[in-house]
Structure 1
Amino acid sequence: MTNSVHTIDVLPAEREAGRPFDPPRELHGHGPLSRLLLPGGHEGWLVTGYDVARSVLADPRFSSRKELMRHPWIDYGGFEIPPAPPGEFLLMDEPQHSRYRKPLVGRFTVRRMRLLAERVEQITAEHLDAMEEAGPPVDLVAAFARPIPAIMICELLGVPYEDRGSFQEQIDTFMNGETPDEELIAAYTATQEYLATLVAAKRLNPTDDALSELTDSDLDDEELKGISLILLAAGLDTTANMLSLGTFALLSNPEQWAALRDEPALAENAVEELLRYLSVAKTFQRTALEDVELGGQTIKAGATVILSYATANRDPERFADPDTLDIRRHAGGHLAFGHGIHACLGQQLARVEMRVAFPALVQRFPTLRLAGEVALRPETADIYGVKSLPVTWDR
């Protein structure tokens, strides 16, 4: 039997003033599952509970296919949403999803990513040296948070060094949530064209990188272009915003900054707690392929389910005192990287980058502090984060 359930008219987006790290308060207090009215009169559901979110992510009756999704804020009217382009496996179900993901799995194992730690340390040290030489104040996003993951993912894919700056700008343009449509389309098109050229170059002259290795598979150029776009956007934007927003959170909680400064061995714990606490990939979607009983409710076939990772990771049934940042907490099992077959492929690379970068920053600049107003990304951005983070320190 279906129980009574709270109904939300519009998915809340705005965070409470002065609480930049917390999901909107309207998402709390209604149970783990709420009915959500989607634009155009479509039926939707909002999942805010940890256990229910995990259940949906592990259930093949909920689809990731792009063409089945309804957007929480946009009414597409009668427009038919096309399937995901070749290679963009995040928006596909089996067996297409595995066709693209399986050739990549061996290139993103824990062991392989740990072998990259020395290179991450080198890149991090170079950027900290440059910050020290330039002197305060600096924008930590431009000086530190963005270039480290950008260099790593570009090296993995074999993007030539001279192209990385423009590449970063293009990715940020179509991921920041506030670019006008014409500029967004232009940046997206330019990125697609560049990737097509890069794939062709790797086929002719393979080098020591993941993209060159994939040219030996049965994937065609369009598929390789799509895979490259997914890896670049996800591998650059998410980690860059975790590094910047994570630093902002630590500086806003001085006792946590001090704990990491005094006990570098807390780095692994700190990274998992920051991932849980911040959840920069705020929401994901699934669509029911058939009627599904979930949390005491019947989710009808065709209904879109919005999964609030940010709120599920603050579920007090799963994490005690969830609104408190505590880098001593054992936050394993959080959903910041998702769960199930679509769990983030690059999560081990992200972990290596953050486990190196955060303690290195704290040790090099123990007196680091904010030096002006922090500019945050709008809630319309797919990935929440920081546009600029002005910081200073004692010389």
Structure 2
Amino acid sequence: MLKHYYADLHIHIGRTASGRAVKITGSKTLTLPGILETASGRKGLDIIGIIDCHSPEVIGELENMMEHGELYQLDEGGLRYQETTLILGSEIEIYDTNCHGPIHVLAYFPTLLQMKGFSNWMQGYMKNIHLSSQRIYCDGRTLQQKVYDMGGLFIPAHVFTPFKSLYGKGVKQSLTEVFDPHLIDAIELGLSSDTTMVSGIRELHSYSFVTNSDAHSLGKIAREYQKLQLEAANFTELKKALHSQEGRMISTNYGLNPLLGKYYQTVCARCGEQVGEKAVTCMACGSEQIIKGVSLRIRELSETKEEMQTRPPYIHQVPLDFIPGLGPKMLERLLQAFGTEMNILHTVTLEQLEQVVPHKIAKMIDLARTGQLAIAVGGGGVYGKVQHE
């Protein structure tokens, strides 16, 4: 019997148990135990992808948790923690001779043994295997083939952001400049785009789209995620869903309204003012350092008005911590009453919310669930904001 499962497949580790940095820009509280406890007990996620599992100290922590019975290996791939399945992942930076800029990609593996083997292989092509998102000194197709040969999944990450992404910097027009299109399992859209925006890019029509948080802190876990239709929460079922096999699928994407994304609009890098799409200098300060917005880059790449294959709904959901007036204490009251954020966002009625928080906040949560709140546009590395009524 197929059921629905909520998944966020892009979560960083900030520090190991010894205090060693993994994702340097990640929060110090973003530890392996902290992620697992938050994702399972607070967020209510069924599947998470931690994408720094190649780091040797993280591998050691995973092994230790398995030895103590806190994690166990699933037969169909993935590690189980309480009610949540951990998919072992790695974020890697490619910048080979075919690239015009660095590209971040995600690789996932079904077992810790396979992740250890991948980590050992990468050490021969990487200067610092301990850190997240490090540059690998081999070409994109070589990396793809290695991931494929080891039974993994390969997904280009946040593909439209201006820095360190496939279309943001990496290629001029087509992913085939760098990658084998047959060895890509899905495309991660990123926070400043959605399904409708990218419908004109023909070469993406055959891929599933994933929407993930790219969390650098515990609170940002599940700010974007997807609902999967699976038989069970494991690696094999996830792979089937990404390829829409045997009734498995991504049934709904939940993501920020692209206007909230911090790279949606074209802006001046120096002063932050929005600039015209064809501007070469900022009218406000005269700087020529212009950060091209995701919206403009997608229009440059779009070439068709053909209908894409049937896509799952993309819900413009506003995360709870973006909602004005919903502070930590009030959120704790909601969690005590309803258990997890997934319950608050998907199960609890407006009337039930009003029994715990003031009507105005309850109404804003209800509107946030369907993307009906007013938005101030983001850009240049600054997130947009939900506006007060």
TM over 0.5: no
Give the structure with the higher percent helix. 1
Q: Give the TM-score, by structure 2 length.
A: 0.25
**Higher relative contact order (Cα pairs below 8 Å, separated by 6+ residues):** 1
Give the structure with the higher percent strand. 2
Q: Give the TM-score, by structure 1 length.
A: 0.25
